[in-house]
Amino acid sequence: MHQYNILDSCEIILSRIKVPVPRLAIMLGSGLGYIAENLDKAVTIPYSSLPGFPNTTVVGHEGAVVVGLFNNVPILCLKGRQHAYETDDLTPLKTMIRTLKAVGIETLMTTSASGSLNADMPTGSIMAISDHINMMGINPLIGENYDEIGPRFPSMHNAWDMEHTKTMQKSAKKAKIKLFEGVYVAFRGPCFETKAEIKMAKIIGGDAVGMSAVPECIVAKHCGLKVTGCAVISNMAEGMNTEILSHEQTLAGARLAKSNLKKLVENFVPNFAVENKKVA
Ligand code: HPA
């Protein structure tokens, strides 16, 4: 039963960390693991030692929880996620996100390599996710609902937290980075989209496409976490230029955004800590 896994994994994390319980968790997408590399008092806990956590199988997604101080603020990094293209059973993703809630995390920030649907948003850009469209054809909450975790029919109002987006914009300004904002359209993959699918994604209101972010947002919202996210533009979507898309190309494109994402997170983390101080 995955509820037992949640409690066991929560206990392992709390017994291992060497910093106060973090309030912010950051999920690191393909090629974005470097954010976890510069934490002070860092403790790394492989997913394989956390009951119910995903087995990550994709290159660039080593599975580990890293908890430490980032500019003196405790944060929890998730290096690696489970994708909807890997399986029909998203239970490990649910266990991982719900464990965050049990640990005491309040906000999940997702980062994910994405394709741009906007000719003016080039490779290497960062886009704050303001909303999403789920074109995956699945929903991680399908199946039995546990009312003690969240409601059967959760609202997706403010799914991508507007206040956090404002904080991200403020942080981007301070870091002198252009931060785009827009709608993330999630396809299940694992193949990249066709040119016609990209045309559709633009028509229905999308600004970026990707194969992640949305399942974790839904699970996090359901269990009461706030969610914020950065789509890291690793390529122009299919048909927008002559590039042939591949995972290697995604990783190379994500590297172009490396210094900007780092600067953004460096500024966001202290701003988050100030703006989300607990009122005693
Ligand atoms: N499409 C879907 N997923 C992606 C893309 C894309 O163009 N780039 C990175 N992840």
Domains of the chain: 2-279 (3.40.50.1580)
Q: How many C-beta atoms surround the C-beta of residue 148 within 10 A?
A: 7
Pocket test for ligand 1, best of 61, 193, 248, 249 (most atoms within 8 A of CB): 193
Decide the pairing of beta strands 208-210 and 107-116. antiparallel
Ligand 1 centroid – CA 210 distance (Å): 4
Q: Whose CA is nearest to atom 2 of ligand 1?
A: 210
d(CA 238, CA 250) in angstroms, rounded, equals 12
pLDDT single digits (tens) 29-55: 867 788 898 899 999 999 999 999 998
What number is the average pLDDT over the span 118-137? 97
The verdict on whether omega for the bond into residue 92 sits within 30 degrees of 0, i.e. cis, is no
Of all residues in the chain, the percent with pLDDT exceeding 90 is: 82
Closest CA to 183 of 223, 137, 217: 217
Question: How high is the mean pLDDT of the chain?
Answer: 93
Cα(211) to centroid of ligand 1, in Å? 6
Q: State the Cα–Cα distance between residues 271 and 275, nearest whole angstrom.
A: 6
Both tokens assigned to 166: 């404002």
Distance 216 CA to ligand 1 centre (A): 17
Residue 230 has pLDDT above 90, yes or no: yes
How far does the centroid of ligand 1 lie from the alpha carbon of residue 141, in Å? 24
Just list the catalytic residues.
30, 61, 83, 85-86, 113, 211-212, 235, 247
* The three-state (H, E, C) secondary structure of the chain, written as one string: CHHHHHHHHHHHHHHHCCCCCCCEEEEECCCCHHHHHHCEEEEEEEHHHCCCCCCCCCCCCCCEEEEEEECCEEEEEEECCCCCCCCCCCHHHHHHHHHHHHHCCCEEEEEEEEEECCCCCCCCCEEEEEEEEECCCCCCCCCCCCCCCCCCCCCCCCCCCHHHHHHHHHHHHHCCCCEEEEEEEECCCCCCCCHHHHHHHHHCCCCEEECCCHHHHHHHHHCCCEEEEEEEEEEECCCCCCCCCCHHHHHHHHHHCHHHHHHHHHHHHHHHHHHCCCCC
d(CA 185, CA 21): 33
Task: Say if residue 280's pLDDT is above 50.
Answer: no
- Name all residues whose Cβ lies below 6 A of ligand 1: 113-115, 187, 192-193, 209-211, 234-235, 237, 245, 250
Average pLDDT over residues 226-253: 94
pTM, rounded to two decimals:
0.95
Q: Give the pair of three-digit tokens for residue 13.
A: 């994390």
pLDDT exceeds 50 at position 213: yes
Nearest to 35 by CA among 72, 81, 83, 76: 76
Q: Which residue has the tokens 């912010």?
A: 24
